[in-house]
């Protein structure tokens, strides 16, 4: 009986403890919308040194339960370790600050990204991905009209 209990503990409980302590890694990117389109284009550049924050709120009362900041690297990507499973919360990656004073207005609708930060969703990887978030350039580039022509729908 003791052997069976020890075997059950080793096979079921220990892996659950190890998984529960393993942090989740949230990855995302921050860009500058150089043409003020509201989406990424060929003219968009990725921002090094932009600040993002992970905010999680209780589903029951919307109180802030977790937050952590990260900074983008030289290619505009961020990696934030989330130490605990946030399955009882809804979480967002949120733009905090641009590193470019000429591109510092958060794009409405692209200033946050909803993220799922739980292991209780069937995903085997500890890595989670957020949609790209962007800031608007104060003055669009002169070449934007040429760039945007590529995105126009062809008329038949």
CATH number at residue 65: 2.60.40.10
Domains of the chain: total? 1
Residue at 7 is within a domain: no
Residue at 6 is within a domain: no
- Choose among 89, 84, 83: nearest CA to 57: 89
Residue at 5 is within a domain: no
Residue at 154 is within a domain: no
Q: Please state, rounded to an integer, the average pLDDT across all residues of the chain.
A: 88
Residue at 83 is within a domain: yes
Residue at 61 is within a domain: yes
Domain around 38: 23-149
**pLDDT, tens digit (0-9, with 9 covering 90-100), for 80-104:** 999 999 988 999 999 999 999 999 9
Task: Answer whether residue 7 shows pLDDT above 60.
Answer: no
**pLDDT, tens digit (0-9, with 9 covering 90-100), for 41-79:** 999 999 999 999 999 999 999 999 999 999 999 999 999
Helices (H), the chain: 2-8, 14-21, 144-149
- Three-state helix/strand/coil letters over 39-82: CCCCCCEECCCCEEEEEEEECCCCCEEEEEEEECCCCCEEEEEE
CA–CA dist 130, 30 (Å, integer): 10
Per the CB < 8 A criterion, the answer to whether 81 and 23 are in contact is yes
Per the CB < 8 A criterion, the answer to whether 86 and 128 are in contact is no
pTM, full prediction: 0.81
């Amino acid at each position: 009986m003791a052997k069976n209990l020890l075997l059950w503990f080793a096979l079921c409980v220990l892996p659950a403890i190890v998984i529960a302590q393993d942090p989740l890694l949230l990855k995302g990117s921050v860009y500058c919308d150089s043409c003020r389109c509201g989406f990424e284009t060929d003219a968009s550049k990725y921002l090094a040194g932009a600040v993002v924050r992970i905010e999680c709120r209780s589903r029951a009362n919307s109180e802030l339960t977790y937050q952590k900041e990260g900074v983008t690297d030289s290619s505009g990507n961020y990696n934030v370790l989330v130490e605990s499973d946030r399955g009882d919360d809804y979480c967002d990656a949120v733009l905090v600050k641009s590193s470019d004073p000429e591109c510092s207005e958060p794009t409405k609708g692209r200033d946050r990204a909803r993220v799922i930060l739980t292991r209780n969703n069937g995903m085997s990887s500890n890595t989670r991905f957020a949609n790209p978030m962007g800031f608007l350039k104060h003055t669009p580039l002169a070449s934007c009209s040429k760039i945007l022509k590529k995105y126009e729908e062809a008329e038949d």
